[in-house]
Amino acid sequence: MSAARVLVVEHENGTGPAQVGERLTARGLDLDLCRPWAGDPLPATLDAYDGLLILGGSMGPYDEAEAPWLPEAIGLLRQAVARDLPTLGICLGMELLTVACGGTVGHSEHPEVGLGELTPLLPATRDELFAPLADLDEPVHAVQWHWEETSVPPEGAVPLLTSRRCAHQAYRVGTAVWGVQFHPEVLAGHIATWGTSDDAPLRALGLDPPSVVRRVAREDAHLRGVWGAFAERWGTVVETRRTASVRH
């Protein structure tokens, strides 16, 4: 049997799949990286894929003038939800999923940037991706980098994680479609350039960009372990669903 194939949508240079992509590739999954910002056309359907990974970007989900492919990405997410195809939307990817499913995205009252603590909610204890996080004896941290967020989740979405500043950090639609507002894919080295490019916005929030990166660096081992394992669990979902589909 050939390898499971995942469509990866990258919205902006420097926002690739990073450690999530590394973990999936190490598992043997075939990643088809599509860069519409560089002129790559998005596929019209998901017929050729076993999973969908939608990454982040500095634009918002309604910024079609800046990123004219966003409606197509939303269309792919609607297809994924209709098929219950294993899907992971990260940051902008979650915001696009929210819009695709009828929810609302708005500007964050308190933008989250840098290392942030996440709190698992009760449904997370029964979720195949998030249950191991709910069982951890230590706080769960992740990299945050967003000025927008889901204000009204899609109807029927199952809430999984929250944080002090952002109520909707992760949710599931159906049985295999997840959105996360944080960045499980990045470590300090990945966000170093973000700190430079977003210097003025970070300082407007009262943050020192180099200090933000250093704080993430101190938790790199935690981030690598927790979110690397998370990526592998998602890869297992993709592979398991594909195997079940082939059998039928």
User: What pLDDT is recorded for position 2?
Assistant: 86
What is 5-247's CATH superfamily?
Answer: Class I glutamine amidotransferase (GATase) domain (3.40.50.880)
Beta carbons of 61 and 99 less than 8 angstroms apart: yes
8 Å CB contact between 163 and 170: no
In the predicted model, what is the mean pLDDT of the chain? 95
| Single-letter code of the amino acid located at 229 | A
- Per DSSP, the residues of 45-104 read -STT-SEEEE---SS-TT-TTT-TTHHHHHHHHHHHHHHT--EEEETHHHHHHHHHTT-E
Q: Phi, psi at residue 238, to the nearest 5°?
A: -60, -50
Give pLDDT, residue 185: 97
Instruction: For residue 19, name the pLDDT band (cuts at 50, 70, 90).
Output: very high
Q: Round to whole Å and give the CA distance between 231 and 57.
A: 19
pTM, to two decimals: 0.96
- Decide if pLDDT at 247 tops 80: no
The pLDDT of residue 70 is 98
135 pLDDT exceeds 60?
A: yes
Burial class (CB in 10 A: 0-12, 13-18, 19+), 139: exposed
Using an 8 Å Cβ cutoff, are 162 and 149 in contact?
no
The DSSP element (H or E) to which 113 belongs, if any, is strand 104-120
Mean pLDDT of all residues in 116-131: 96
The structural domains of the chain, with segments of one domain joined by +, span 5-247
Please state, in angstroms and rounded to a whole number, the distance separating the CA atoms of residues 171 and 161: 7
Q: How many CB atoms lie within 10 A of CB 248?
A: 5
DSSP 14-47: T---HHHHHHHHHTT-EEEEE-GGGTPPPPS-ST
User: Is 83 a residue whose pLDDT tops 70?
Assistant: yes
Residue range 203-228: mean pLDDT, rounded: 93
20-63: per-residue pLDDT in tens? Answer: 999 999 999 999 999 999 999 999 999 999 999 999 999 999 99
